[in-house]
Structure 1
């Protein structure tokens, strides 16, 4: 891991950040890209359960989107995590995830984090298993959505979406190991 960047600020996304989040997701070439409209809505309706990292000029360079599950109000489902290419490899995704979790724990009594990861997405697997270790939590895994549940793309009718494996992480405790990043302030 490279040197930690302390000149970045982590806070809540604003509607004006939606286009930048869409671009970061698109440029990741790993995430399922949602419509630009959905990122605008996400920044409006789920800002309380999402986080954005900003450079010194205030531009978004990474984000985590999530929501509290309606039927499990102490569970945060992390939808997407992405960091701009020029800021990867410095622990920013982990800082975003920890900062968001810290805030949602304080505001809503969060005890569990869930996410889905496709098989072979090593970066996400490492991010979430190390998150569980920092929080002294266990990780349960199970296939949430089999590949055959996803429609094929018209441009690639024979390409199948991989299954989405649910990672359930909890119960959470205070994180350790991210010194150098500012606490979540927004």
Structure 2
């Protein structure tokens, strides 16, 4: 399933998009950068629960990666969201989230979205609270992973944002 507008196509990623997603994550300067292999693998194994936005030239300009929680299969965990710096300020991240939520509500019956956000990441806080407002859903927050769980150097704590309920009528 794809969604298109005059300047943007939103669809499932393919393994050939992995390198571009890695570059977008790297260039975000805020996301934890994973190996390029993980993005290629993600675009294969979790394409059904992720989305990529393509510009007029067909190249990825943004993405959202996610998966259904194994112990809560009606919950989409959004792992990463990134938009190319040259394309920011055009609502691409919101369109990606809305499109993915609508697709997964229809295809998989999701009723909840989760993500983690580090304190002070105001762009992500705004993105996800605005998503909840657009969908008439509640937002709850709780500390999920304290900073001392991360062995690879200083890392901010991760706060869990739980957004729901989502329904077919609210997930545009």
Query: Does the TM-score normalized on the shorter chain lie above 0.5?
Result: yes
Residue in 2 that maps onto 1:57: 57
Residue in 2 that maps onto 1:170: 164
Residue in 2 that maps onto 1:99: 99
Residue in 2 that maps onto 1:13: 13
Runs of 5+ consecutive residues of structure 2 not aligned to the other structure: none
Residue in 1 that maps onto 2:25: 25
Residue in 2 that maps onto 1:144: 144
Displacement, 1:169?
A: 0.2
Runs of 5+ consecutive residues of structure 1 not aligned to the other structure: 154-159, 177-186
Segments of 4+ moved more than 2 angstroms: none
> CA deviation digits over 1:21-59, x for unaligned, max 9?
000000000000010000000000000000000011110
Q: Larger relative contact order (C-alpha < 8 A, sep ≥ 6)?
A: 1
Displacement, 1:175?
A: 4.5
Counterparts of 1:48 and 1:62 in 2: how far apart (Å)? Answer: 16
Counterparts of 2:30 and 2:150 in 1: how far apart (Å)? Answer: 17
Aligned residue for 2:56, secondary structure, equals coil
Counterparts of 1:54 and 1:148 in 2: how far apart (Å)? Answer: 38
Counterparts of 1:25 and 1:47 in 2: how far apart (Å)? Answer: 17
Displacement, 1:120?
A: 0.1
Would you say the 8 A contact 2:105–2:171 is kept in 1? no
Would you say the 8 A contact 2:93–2:127 is kept in 1? yes
Q: TM-score, normalised by structure 1?
A: 0.87
Displacement, 1:152?
A: 3.1
Aligned residue for 1:68, secondary structure, equals strand
Displacement, 1:110?
A: 0.4
Q: TM-score, normalised by structure 2?
A: 0.94
What RMSD in Å do the two structures reach over aligned CA positions?
A: 1.0
Aligned length: 166
Q: Which entry has the higher C-alpha Rg, 1 or 2?
A: 1
